[in-house]
Amino acid sequence: MLMTQERSSLLALILALIYFFFKNKKWMFIFLILIIMISAISPIKNRIQLFNPKKMYIDIRQNERIKMNYLTFEVIKEHPIIGIGYGLQTYGKLNLERYQKRLPKKYQLEEIIADPHNIVLDVAARLGVVGLGIFFYIIFVFFKMGRGIIKYGKDNLLKNWGRCLFASFIAVFTIGLFQPIFSHMPETILCIIFSMFTIIWHFNNDPISKEVV
């Protein structure tokens, strides 16, 4: 995170730690202070303009991700129901120049980047409204299962595993809002989180599995 200077990774780490240590304010405070101190002496501090609102506003306005999102919206508008299909590349063999020409000049990319850098828009472009609805339903079920485990788990081991996986999901999803997420390694991590949560849920609901844990 500090070496790559990615603000999305820093935000993901902070949100995950806040959630994980929410009931233990002392440890949450210690970890947040450590992150702030390390960030303050690392190059990433030059990319965060918290104390310069004007510069931060300009940075947001000129951010390439905004233009990339406009381009993705144009693709979604043309394929709203079932999207363009799922493949190794988000846009497949679409002629993105054609979509870019529809945008106002100020929203056109100097060099087209063939990835939305946003997990929600990525799913919408590939699978349309139908796929996006299914994706949100999966997340809803994940949260529902997680709440049940964390609040009503059989023991502290299952509850702590639930919190850990929940915090991991928060981190991965946060990064996915700003970075490409549907490539081999991030996809693998996301699938592992979902799979492990399913196993924990099974242990929590199966009376026999208590011995396995």
| Cβ atoms 194, 186 nearer than 8 A | no
pLDDT per position as a tens digit, 2-35: 555 577 777 788 888 888 887 777 777 887 788 7
% pLDDT > 70, the chain: 82
Residue 113 pLDDT more than 90? no
Give the mean pLDDT of the chain: 81
Amino acid 207: pLDDT: 64
pLDDT per position as a tens digit, 26-69: 777 887 788 777 766 666 666 565 545 566 555 666 677 888 88
Residue 183 pLDDT more than 90? no
Print burial letters for 18-30: b (CB count within 10 Å at least 16), e (below 16): ebbbeeeeeebee
Amino acid 213: pLDDT: 46
Residue 141 pLDDT more than 70? yes
Residue whose entry in the numeric block shows the structure tokens 């049940």: 148
Amino acid 129: pLDDT: 94
